[in-house]
């Protein structure tokens, strides 16, 4: 998903600023809850490393990586500061690794459900009550970004490529089935593989997370129509 690009900024800078104002709070919320989920899950599993370093917080500035944040704006993918975790402190290593790895994705899933519920609720009010404040591009842009961005973060982080969350699950599942060289390869070249995937999607103009988001929005519209 390409959120912004230089051409769109030059063609319509006012629209860019308006959409940026809608995107920023959604992005801060989504990244913050994702990282908080990791920190909170680690704490519950017995590791207080993130908590002691001030990362088990809902303060977005504790989690934002400037370069990763900027990359999301211009390229449609990026990252926050990784939450420090010491898996040796887990009461159960495998269970702790799985829970902590999936905690961030789970938070993004909850946000997808929350934004989807708000989308249906406000659409229903829009068609039945005709409140003037519902006829606002800002409201619908925020809700759309909330769905699209969190679907993107959810799917992106499930990729079994280092250093994403999905890699840790992949390692847990296949540690005894695959040679160590496979995992070392992913750890060494993971970032290059991710960049390659992003570039390929850009060339092909195919963004699975965006397509899934549009499919979801279609289903939400069907729910709204059924309620009317």
Name the residue among 143, 115, 151 with its Cα closest to residue 1: 151
CA pair distance 228, 224, nearest whole angstrom: 6
209 near 77, Cβ under 8 Å?
A: no
Q: How far is CA 198 from the centre of its chain?
A: 15
Number of Cβ within a 10 Å radius of residue 24:
14
Is 97 considered catalytic here? Answer: no
Any residues with CB less than 8 A from the CB of 179 and at least 6 apart, and which? none
Residue tagged active-site, from 35, 171, 205, 211: 35
150 near 112, Cβ under 8 Å?
A: yes
Per-residue pLDDT of the chain (228 residues; tens, 9 = 90+): 444 454 555 577 777 778 888 888 998 999 999 999 999 999 999 999 999 999 999 999 999 888 877 776 666 566 788 899 999 999 999 999 999 999 999 999 999 999 999 999 999 998 888 777 787 888 999 999 999 999 999 998 999 999 899 999 999 999 889 999 989 999 999 989 988 888 888 788 788 888 999 999 999 999 999 998
Name the residue among 217, 21, 15, 118 with its Cα closest to residue 126: 118
207 near 201, Cβ under 8 Å?
A: yes
Question: Residue written as tokens 């992949």?
Answer: 170
Q: What are residue 45's phi and psi, to 5 degrees?
A: -90, 0
CA pair distance 76, 70, nearest whole angstrom: 9
């Amino acid at each position: 998903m390409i959120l912004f690009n230089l051409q769109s900024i030059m063609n319509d800078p006012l629209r860019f600023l308006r959409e940026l104002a809608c995107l920023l709070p959604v992005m801060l919320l989504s990244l913050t809850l994702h990282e908080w989920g990791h920190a909170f899950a680690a704490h519950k599993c017995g590791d207080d490393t993130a908590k002691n370093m001030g990362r088990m917080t809902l303060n977005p500035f504790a989690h934002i990586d400037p370069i990763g944040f900027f990359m999301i704006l211009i390229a449609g993918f990026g990252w926050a500061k990784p939450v420090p975790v010491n898996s040796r402190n887990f009461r159960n290593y495998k269970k702790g690794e799985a829970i902590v790895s999936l905690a961030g994705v789970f938070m993004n899933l909850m946000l997808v459900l929350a934004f989807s519920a708000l989308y249906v609720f406000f659409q229903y009010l829009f068609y039945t009550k005709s409140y003037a404040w519902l006829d606002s591009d800002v409201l619908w842009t925020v809700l759309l970004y909330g769905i699209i961005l969190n679907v993107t973060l959810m799917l992106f982080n499930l990729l079994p490529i280092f250093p994403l969350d999905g890699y840790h699950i992949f390692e847990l599942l296949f540690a005894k089935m695959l040679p160590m060289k496979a995992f070392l390869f992913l750890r060494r070249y993971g970032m290059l593989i991710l960049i390659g995937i992003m570039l390929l999607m850009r060339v092909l103009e195919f963004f699975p997370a965006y397509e899934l988001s549009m499919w979801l929005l279609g289903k939400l519209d069907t729910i709204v129509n059924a309620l009317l």
